Structure 1
Amino acid sequence: MSPDISNYSISLPYFDSLTQKFSEGDADALLAFGRHLHWGYWSDPTKADGSIADFAIAAENLSHLITDVAQIQHGLSILDVGCGFGGTIASLNERFSNMNLVGININNEQLLRAERTVHALPNNHIKFLKADACQLPFSDDSFDVVLAVESIFAFSSREHFFREARRILHLGGRLTICDFIPIQAFYRTWKLIEKATKTLVIRTYGSRPVNFCPLIEYKELAKATGFELVQTENITRNTLPTYPVVNSLMRGEGDEETYRATKGLERLSRRGLLQYMILSFQVSSP
């Protein structure tokens, strides 16, 4: 029996109110999301203890894993698209030297916090800009790596983003993302009912429905835009301990709608219908 997905949404209003929670001294929100706005990664998920402190460490671990998959090393120029509060930029700043690190976002409050809290260490350069992921304000061949850490589902067009990423990357450069990837059978079901559920989801959550993209479409998109998919990491099991922590925070704040949204994602993930994956693409053509 297919799960009820009419109430599932990846858009989480809770995150839009985080800066206010920080200013009010909400210690739990600050520890959980003051640096990173993405899920956590546990190499052994059975050892997750359910605490916010443990989740914060796991979120940092996910950032490390993504940058390792992207093969980041000293002396590179990196663009983080949808940079949130600048957590991935901060992590790169602490781990590497002689780096040109740029983060872009369309959310002013998130960018302001990133600028206040993330400062370049000696020999590194950091810049945060307000920009659209599908209209990148950079010259051709200007970056070694482009990252999109749990943000691509919010972009207006994956194809436009891929084409822009290809334009600004050097030959041989990498685009590395993490995304919620539906299995093909579930995606076919979702597409059949997507139009019927769209109005309900927008009325309930005030945002567009889940913007899923199956792996086969990512491969086709890569080929069409001058990339090759060179590495795939399915880390669904390693991210599952995220949900009890985040759900507890949502319910504790009285945010019932966002709690329902994350519970929906959790059900899909635990049933194997939705996979949390890191995908790394390499520029394959001039």
Structure 2
Amino acid sequence: MSKTNVQLPYFDELLEQLRKGNPDAIQAFGRHVHWGYWENPDAADGSVADFAEAAERLCRRVCDSGSVGDGMRILDCGCGFGGTIASLNERFSNVQLVGLNIDERQLERARKEVKPRAGNQIDFVQGDACELPFEDASFDVVLAVECIFHFPSRERFFKEARRVLKPGGKLAICDFVPTSFMMPFIKFMDLFVKNSVSQVYGNVNSHYTLGDYQNLAKNTGFVSQIEENITSNTLPTYPVVCRLMRESGNIEAGNITMGADWLGRLGLTHYMILSFDAK
């Protein structure tokens, strides 16, 4: 599937900032394009460098929840600029790493920036996470780091992940997960903000509760293993990202992101790491 089949306004803007050589954009998002994790959120200093380190920590926590290890074949869906692949390449040996993304522009940057260490293999493949172009039972771990809300269907992705995983393999993701009692409010608010959100972030489906994930896992051949709420550890992300958005002139993006910040602070939406074992 080509890039023209999807709308990626956030990456359109980010790629332009990277092309211009914006030093903050390069440091903040040149490797990882997702939120950060702080063991002690009060220690966050609000700097771009601190955020970049926190983004690496979040990546590692998701990978660790998938029990990644030496000698494995690992698929990272929605791989962005290859940050998770780069992290895995630096941490593990004799691994076969595959990054998949629907946007060839992101893959072009990943191929330039991420090179395999001796003994490791890296491939970046254009494709749809809901129609994985890989053989059955060909991976030990499948990852989706802060991107599943963009996929056309979580159910199709889970079915495809299960298909390409070996028996006993693992699926690990992170996502913004609304509380069940929040769902009527979110659906109501969609009537007013969905168009604005799509103009900033593209297609976003944030309607999946933890109960929905538990049922989805059960129905697609997975057993839920880790359900970790790390909302408080991610909150220092918002001031940094909002500031960078506004400094780049994207005021609307900053406002929408700040709204998501308040949903997390009020406990209405949780940022969660989830992992599942393939039966």
- TM-score, structure 2 as length reference: 0.93
- Match for 1:118: what amino acid? V
Q: Is the 8 A contact 1:201 1:207 kept in 2?
A: no
Deviation at 1:261, TM superposition (A): 1.6
- After the TM superposition, which of the residue ranges 12-21 and 133-142 deviates more from structure 2? 12-21
In structure 1, list runs of 5 or more residues that go unmatched. Answer: 1-10
- Residue 266 (1) aligns with residue 261 (2): yes
Structure 1: distance between partners of 2:241 and 2:100: 25
Deviations 1:20-73 (A, max 9, x none): 212211100000000000100000111000000000000011111111111111
- Residue 158 (1) aligns with residue 154 (2): yes
- Judging changes above 3 Å, is the alpha-carbon distance between structure 1 residues 92 and 186 closer, same or farther for their aligned structure 2 residues? same
The number of aligned residues is: 273
Q: Is the 8 A contact 1:31 1:53 kept in 2?
A: yes
Counterpart in the other structure of 1:74: 70
- Judging changes above 3 Å, is the alpha-carbon distance between structure 1 residues 117 and 200 closer, same or farther for their aligned structure 2 residues? closer
- Judging changes above 3 Å, is the alpha-carbon distance between structure 1 residues 199 and 55 closer, same or farther for their aligned structure 2 residues? closer
- TM-score, structure 1 as length reference: 0.91
Consecutive aligned runs of 4 or more in structure 1 exceeding 6 Å deviation: none
- Residue 277 (1) aligns with residue 252 (2): no
Indicate which of 43, 50, 62 corresponds to 1:47: 43
Indicate which of 68, 83, 91 corresponds to 2:79: 83
- Judging changes above 3 Å, is the alpha-carbon distance between structure 1 residues 27 and 200 closer, same or farther for their aligned structure 2 residues? closer
Deviation at 1:206, TM superposition (A): 8.0
Deviation at 1:233, TM superposition (A): 1.1
Q: Report SS of the residue matched to 2:54.
A: helix
- Residue 57 (1) aligns with residue 23 (2): no
- Judging changes above 3 Å, is the alpha-carbon distance between structure 1 residues 58 and 192 closer, same or farther for their aligned structure 2 residues? same
Percent of aligned pairs with the same amino acid: 52
Deviation at 1:17, TM superposition (A): 2.0
In the TM superposition, what are the counterparts of 1:13-52 in structure 2 within 5 Å? Answer: 13-52=9-48
Indicate which of 234, 242, 265 corresponds to 1:239: 234
Q: What is the aligned-residue RMSD (CA, Å)? A: 1.7
- Match for 1:66: what amino acid? V
Structure 2: distance between partners of 1:198 and 1:210: 12
Structure 2: distance between partners of 1:203 and 1:74: 39
- Judging changes above 3 Å, is the alpha-carbon distance between structure 1 residues 115 and 214 closer, same or farther for their aligned structure 2 residues? same
In structure 2, list runs of 5 or more residues that go unmatched. Answer: 1-6
Indicate which of 104, 109, 127 corresponds to 2:123: 127
